[in-house]
Structure 1
Amino acid sequence: MKRILLLICSAISFAVNATEYKIHSAVELQALKLAPGDKVVLADGQWKDQRLVFSGKGTEAAPIVLTTEKPGVTKLTGTSTLLVEGTWLVVDGLYFTDGHSEKEDVIVLSAKTSYSRVTNTAIVNYNAPDIKKDYKWLSLYGHHNRVDHCWLEGKSHQGTTLVVWLSDQPNYHRIDHNYFGQRPELGVNGGETIRIGTSTWSMHDSYTIVENNIFNRCDGEIEAISNKSCRNILRNNLFYECSATLTLRHGNNNEAYGNIFIGNNKPNTGGIRIIGENQQVHDNFFQELTGTGLSAAISIMDGLPNPILTSHWQVKNAVISKNTIVHCKESLSIGAGKNADRYLPALNTVFNNNTIITDRQPVNWVDESVVMQFSGNIADVPAGTKLPEGFAVKATGTAKDKDGIWQVPGVKPDLFWKNTKVGPAWTSPVLGAR
């Protein structure tokens, strides 16, 4: 209570002394000496080829805000970019479009940035003429930063859309309530929508939370989310007709739960791919996915012996529970990716209390040497289907509801996007639209 009163008093004090600046160029922004509670407004008009540097030290009670006079109308075009550097800074209502970056990532929260936020902001079709040019649209360094209620769509050139970069210390970032719109297939590696870490930093803890985001037809490459670090939480996201997967590519002790994958039988739509140690995959919902092998609804890979950081590490101690898989082409792939070099089977893997509804074989053994611990699972399958021990055959009587979701007894996916705002306040991207 004492801390709350102090924050309130501090906020009142800064509110009295705060200044609002209306500016017309990046040069004007750089000249400002910003104090807690200050607000900078980009005037309506032409913001072309502007390299904005937003720096300062706000406080929890009185952050410094950078916004636009008309969110969604005021546009940053040409070669405009934004560097954010400081503490308790808020970027609200920017819109990058009709241009591309020449050198830098479009929005960067630097290594010196903490407790800061990018919200209500969009980067749409901000593409280099050369699709081989690699820059990210949003790069998160520092720690305790947040990206929320943003709209990122149409990235057609090389490079991940949003990257969390690691350091020696965990970053504790939060990425939530964003709309990631269509990303066309790139044709090469590097087309992820979100990447958390890199192979070389993959054994470091990140503690990033990715939640309540929509991924709509994010087809850039096989990984829509590429997890390459430890102790992250990936929960309650919607993957709609994505020819890609949520991949636990590197790192250990990650948790993926409450996610919804709707494929609508679109080609190569995938689910969750598991690599590494102590991964928890539970309470996810997979519907009408057509991916197989590495893109199956749930894919458990074989690993490489003596792996280096860029390798596929052996799966150990994975717990896969209470997931629901409905009418997917390949529900569970065990030992996916096995070849002459990659042959270490998953160890101590638990698959319990899951429900699979399919007219196909529910389990595909790519590597028959894998020993799985099956228990309490339900399979709604044709009579005579061969099942491992730990499955009970049960008719579920499923049917689709008005939202196009298969209704499974005892399972109720959280359709968060129906009652929670996702994306900027000034626009409403349409699910499924191109």
Structure 2
Amino acid sequence: MVHASTPKLGSDIEKKTVLQGKVYKIKSVAELNALILKPGDKVVMQAGDWSNQQLNFKGKGTKEQPIILTTASPGKIKLTGSSNLRIDGEWLVVDGLAFADGYLDKGHVVQFSATSSNCRLTNSSVINYNPPSKETDYKWVSLYGNNNRVDHCELKGKNHMGTTLVVWLADKPNYHQIDHNYFGPRPPLDANGGETIRIGTSDWSMHDSYTNVSHNIFDKCDGETEIISIKSGHNTIKNNLFYECDGTLTFRHGNFSEVLDNYFIGNKKKNTGGIRIIGENQKVEGNYLHGLTGTGLRAAVSVMNAVENPKLNEYWQVKNALISKNMILDCTEAFNLGSGKNSTRILVPDGVKIIDNYISNSPKLTTFEDQPKNLQIQNNQLVGATLTQGFVKSTQELVKSDGVWQFKNNLKKPFWLIEKIGPAWAAARNNY
């Protein structure tokens, strides 16, 4: 699988480029707009009134000499009111901006333009940027273009309509990178449109994205049933933490995506779910699911029924799903197969493989809402339940290490204990 290369952190970029470019200190958008920026230049926003500012950051840097927009005090100079940011160019880096306590009527708080490429939003935040009415729909971060990155940011407190972060597709794959961010609590919206991340849309769901979502924390992201909604092909969701989230990571549309080595920790909170599978050739491997209370569509792993001759926005048949090497502990329902069956969802999953998983103390091991075709259940290790076909009694020993249960002979530190998540200027996010 191909992914965008991961640029170095902003401090490294700054050391390389400032000596070769100019440093501009600005106090207004007008001053920013007057600049003709060249590779290696750095723009520093000074303390002052940054309310109702529409920043349009344009330029063409290079890989060796990106153009940087930052602030004199990262995280402390607040953009408020109706302020927003558009990133429009090549090899642009936005580092240290903080949007707080403002709101828009529509649009995007931060938007990477359709022609942007190899641009980056890092070490920045959008916090409580909410309108008076929760029916007002705008996105906090929108990724258009290609090979862009959002990393080490904090997005917290969204209580209104609209996905927090959206990857928008085009004719060619976009290869975006979303990593090391803290997605903080989001209250229930009680409607569709409350996802934390969406990759694609129904209309573009048969196109590939190749977006990589890794090393993020999703903390109490309760906006709606789908915490992450994958609506495109060939995406990788790897090594993230979903902590007490009311919802599931959902393969909603598209094919050939992977969900690997993630942590789902529910602590028995109501409606906490795991991974929901729809579509073809999806892979769910190496995930840790603990203390999830959801059942049916919110089971630790649910595999949905589909409709015949589906439209792009309907439920497509599950084919050739691989569910392997996952650890499912103290979850109310480990597997739900044929989930969502009703009078129209009558196409059963076909070719599902459930192999080499470890399941302990799950009262409902496998629920068949419908009977899949060509189902393979093999060599799954089981503790605390009656053995059925495809399950064997486990002899492996678990120990609790660094806050999670692990096999005694294969201990590793969770990523949030060894890597900085969120902005450098924000509090550490390692108490899980």
TM-score bracket relative to the smaller structure: over 0.9
Match of residue 7 from structure 2: none
1:261 aligns with 2:260: no
Matched-pair contact (CA < 8 Å) for 2:70–2:97:
yes
Q: Secondary structure at the match of 2:30?
A: helix
Give the AA of the match of 1:267: K
* Residues 228 and 413 of structure 1, relative CA distance in 2, 3 Å threshold: farther
The percentage of aligned residue pairs carrying the same residue is 53
Q: Secondary structure at the match of 1:271?
A: strand
Match of residue 415 from structure 1: 414
Give the AA of the match of 2:378: S
* Residues 157 and 308 of structure 1, relative CA distance in 2, 3 Å threshold: same
Give the superposition deviation at 1:102: 2.8
1:394 aligns with 2:394: yes
Give the CA RMSD over aligned residues: 1.8
Match of residue 3 from structure 1: none
Matched-pair contact (CA < 8 Å) for 2:260–2:284:
yes
Give the AA of the match of 1:298: V
Give the superposition deviation at 1:408: 3.7
Aligned equivalents of 1:343 and 1:118: distance in 2? 44
Match of residue 170 from structure 1: 173
1:210-261 per-residue CA deviation (whole Å, 9 max, x = no partner) reads 0000000000001110000000011000000001111111000001100000
Aligned equivalents of 2:214 and 2:366: distance in 1? 29
1:342-400 per-residue CA deviation (whole Å, 9 max, x = no partner) reads 01111011111011111513111111354420111111123xx252x221023555454
Aligned equivalents of 1:287 and 1:322: distance in 2? 14
Give the superposition deviation at 1:404: 3.4
* Residues 207 and 357 of structure 1, relative CA distance in 2, 3 Å threshold: same
Aligned equivalents of 2:371 and 2:351: distance in 1? 14
Q: Could you tell me which runs of 5 or more consecutive residues in structure 1 were left unpaired when the two chains were aligned.
A: 1-10
Alignment of 1:3-42 (within 5 A): 17-42=20-45
Q: Secondary structure at the match of 1:294?
A: helix
* Residues 86 and 286 of structure 1, relative CA distance in 2, 3 Å threshold: same
Match of residue 95 from structure 2: 92
Matched-pair contact (CA < 8 Å) for 1:65–1:90:
yes
Aligned equivalents of 1:310 and 1:86: distance in 2? 33
Give the AA of the match of 2:190: G
Task: Tell me which stretches of 4 or more aligned residues in structure 1 moved more than 3 Å.
Answer: 11-17, 395-401, 407-414, 429-433
* Residues 410 and 354 of structure 1, relative CA distance in 2, 3 Å threshold: farther
Match of residue 145 from structure 2: 142
Match of residue 6 from structure 1: none
Aligned equivalents of 1:344 and 1:55: distance in 2? 49
TM-score by length of 1: 0.93
Aligned residues: 419
Q: Secondary structure at the match of 1:78?
A: coil
Aligned equivalents of 1:371 and 1:410: distance in 2? 34
Aligned equivalents of 1:391 and 1:143: distance in 2? 44
Give the AA of the match of 1:427: A
Q: Secondary structure at the match of 1:417?
A: helix
Give the superposition deviation at 1:417: 0.4
Give the AA of the match of 2:392: A
Give the AA of the match of 1:367: D
Match of residue 11 from structure 2: none
Aligned equivalents of 1:208 and 1:95: distance in 2? 25
1:192 aligns with 2:195: yes
Match of residue 352 from structure 1: 355
Matched-pair contact (CA < 8 Å) for 1:328–1:358:
yes
Give the superposition deviation at 1:419: 0.6
Matched-pair contact (CA < 8 Å) for 1:380–1:396:
no
Give the superposition deviation at 1:14: 6.7
Matched-pair contact (CA < 8 Å) for 2:416–2:430:
no
Q: Secondary structure at the match of 1:171?
A: coil
Aligned equivalents of 1:361 and 1:412: distance in 2? 28
* Residues 112 and 303 of structure 1, relative CA distance in 2, 3 Å threshold: same
Give the AA of the match of 2:313: T
Matched-pair contact (CA < 8 Å) for 1:151–1:180:
yes
* Residues 214 and 355 of structure 1, relative CA distance in 2, 3 Å threshold: same
Q: Could you tell me which runs of 5 or more consecutive residues in structure 2 were left unpaired when the two chains were aligned.
A: 1-13
1:178-203 per-residue CA deviation (whole Å, 9 max, x = no partner) reads 00000111000000000000010000
TM-score by length of 2: 0.94
Aligned equivalents of 1:411 and 1:188: distance in 2? 42
Aligned equivalents of 2:187 and 2:26: distance in 1? 36
1:58-87 per-residue CA deviation (whole Å, 9 max, x = no partner) reads 011100000001011100001100001000
Match of residue 312 from structure 2: 309
Give the superposition deviation at 1:406: 2.5
* Residues 359 and 188 of structure 1, relative CA distance in 2, 3 Å threshold: closer
Match of 2:300 among 275, 279, 297: 297
Q: Secondary structure at the match of 1:99?
A: coil
Matched-pair contact (CA < 8 Å) for 1:280–1:320:
yes
Aligned equivalents of 2:412 and 2:17: distance in 1? 44
Moved more, 219-228 or 100-109: 100-109
Aligned equivalents of 2:314 and 2:412: distance in 1? 34
Give the superposition deviation at 1:411: 5.4
* Residues 301 and 432 of structure 1, relative CA distance in 2, 3 Å threshold: farther
Matched-pair contact (CA < 8 Å) for 2:351–2:373:
no
Aligned equivalents of 1:414 and 1:189: distance in 2? 36
